[in-house]
Amino acid sequence: MCVEFPYICEINTTVMETKVVGKNTSRFDARISSEQKLELERAARLGGYRSLSEFVIASAQEKARKIIFDTESIVASQRDAELFFDSLVEAGRPNEALLNAARKYKQLNAE
């Protein structure tokens, strides 16, 4: 279901398994190699994080927000472009107010 952008409904999604731990918390497990864990722990220490979990969660959340923002921006931009070009191609006839404004503009520039 599309909440913020109703026209974003073609995005492929997969359901990932999470375990509900408490009322407002969930557990996420990941298997990584020993080398990956050492690298992540080093980055966490260098970054001043209190734990590996804090580092991984902050990093993943930052990346998730960027991906979501970039995807929604691209889709919104594409939709805006479609609306703009559709309005140019299917422009209706000018109304009386626009015709009057055009006449006044021509009069002012003719003097």
What CATH number is attached to the domain comprising 65? 1.20.5
Q: Report if residue 7 sits inside a domain.
A: no
User: pTM (2 decimals)?
Assistant: 0.53
Question: Domain residues for 78?
Answer: 19-110
Number of domain units in the chain: 1
Give the model's pLDDT for residue 31: 94
**101 occurs within a structural domain:** yes
Give the residue carrying structure tokens 């279901």.
1
Smallest Cα–Cα separation from 56: which of 70, 36, 72, 74? 36
Residue 1 lies in a domain: no
Using CB atoms within 10 Å of the CB of residue 15, give its burial: 0 to 12 exposed, 13 to 18 middle, 19+ buried: exposed
> Token digits for 88?
């140019």
- pLDDT tens for each residue of 29-85: 899 999 999 999 999 999 999 999 999 999 999 999 999 998 888 877 888 888 888
